[in-house]
Amino acid sequence: MLATTMRCSSPLLFFVSFLGCIHLFTCQASAATSPIPVILDTDIGSDIDDTWALLYLLNSPELDLKMVLTATADTHYRAKVTAKFLTQCQRTDVVVGIGQASETDAEFQLPYVADYDLATYPGRVEPDGIQAMIDLVHASEEPITLITLGPVPNIKEALKRDPSIAAKLNYIGMQGSIDVGYNGGEPAAEWNVASHIGEFRAALAGDWLSFKITPLDTCGLIIIDGQAYQDLKASKSAGLRAVFENYGYWTDLVTWEKPDYFETRTSNLYDIVPIYMAYADEWLEYEPMQIIVDDEGFTRRAEKGASILAAMHWKNVDAFYAHVVQRLLQE
């Protein structure tokens, strides 16, 4: 199914809710015995999809979030967004790691943390989040899943300091564009890659346990609308209240589009797909391939490229939507 058809609506939820319930029960049963340890590397605070993805992750019992590592631009600002959100969700057991900073840009949730002091976070804040991630990987008795939702300068730096960590990590990323680009169009130089080409090349070169991505082919137009969106908007859960508070700020400040759809739908939720990929794959079709990143930031198939697994098509995007909405509505 092409990205242009990936949209959630009320009739959809009606017909697949039973399927979603069965899947939810099965996932919770397995998660009770062996939740997967996760490190989340994110540029939260720019596009709002990272915030939606963080709530989805927190509401997924199959996953055990150990650390959020903030990536690119003002990583201290991003750490504040993360820490306040985790506090509102009552998940201050999660470590907040401050990643490698660069030029400040796109602080579209700044009003959310205008008066927030990171020092008040009840949990642990690591000023050198990259080293904290390395230490966490080595301390773990089992492999950790690393989910990256943006450009990956933190990952390049971590591999530079200690390349051995890759052998204990399963990499899942929202990066690239193979056959489909933005808005279902031609392949594009996807932002997370094109803005940091060398960094993603370094990630591709790592000796990971596994390496999976959702390119724009499958995450390019994931939008929740209709009654499902209204149910999310009306929810009184602390997590969704925090998401919609941030969504309101984002719609006022974002510069790359005019989001006049706050009352009717979400923006594109690219980053919820890699969260799903961390614990399930039944509704996605993967293709093993070898890719390179060219000098313009395009991710292209190449005979001598890095070997990866790319989520290229949806088997049942309707069931995926129903499942995600159920998760987001959890108290």
Q: What are the pLDDT digits (tens) for 175-200?
A: 999 999 999 999 999 999 999 999 99
SS3 206: coil
Percentages helix, strand, coil for the chain (3-state, rounded to 5) are 45, 20, 35
Domains of the chain: 3-329 (3.90.245.10)
Q: What is the mean pLDDT of residues 237-245?
A: 98
Lowest mean pLDDT among 25-29, 294-298, 325-329: 25-29
pLDDT digits (tens, 9 = 90+) for 265-318: 999 999 999 999 999 999 999 999 999 999 999 999 999 999 999 999 999 999
Which residue from 135, 84, 134 is spatially nearest to 239, judged by alpha carbons?
Answer: 84
The reported pTM is 0.92
* Helix extents (H) in the chain: 10-31, 49-58, 75-88, 129-139, 153-161, 191-194, 197-204, 216-219, 226-234, 238-253, 272-277, 317-329
| 3-12, 51-60, 204-213, 282-291: range with lowest mean pLDDT | 3-12
Can you tell me the mean pLDDT for 87-94? 98
How far apart are the C-alpha atoms of 18 and 234, rounded to whole Å? 22
Distance CA 125, CA 137 (A): 17
Provide DSSP, 138-151: HH-SS-EEEEE-S-
131 compared with 9, residue with greater pLDDT: 131
Q: Is pLDDT of 3 > 70?
A: no
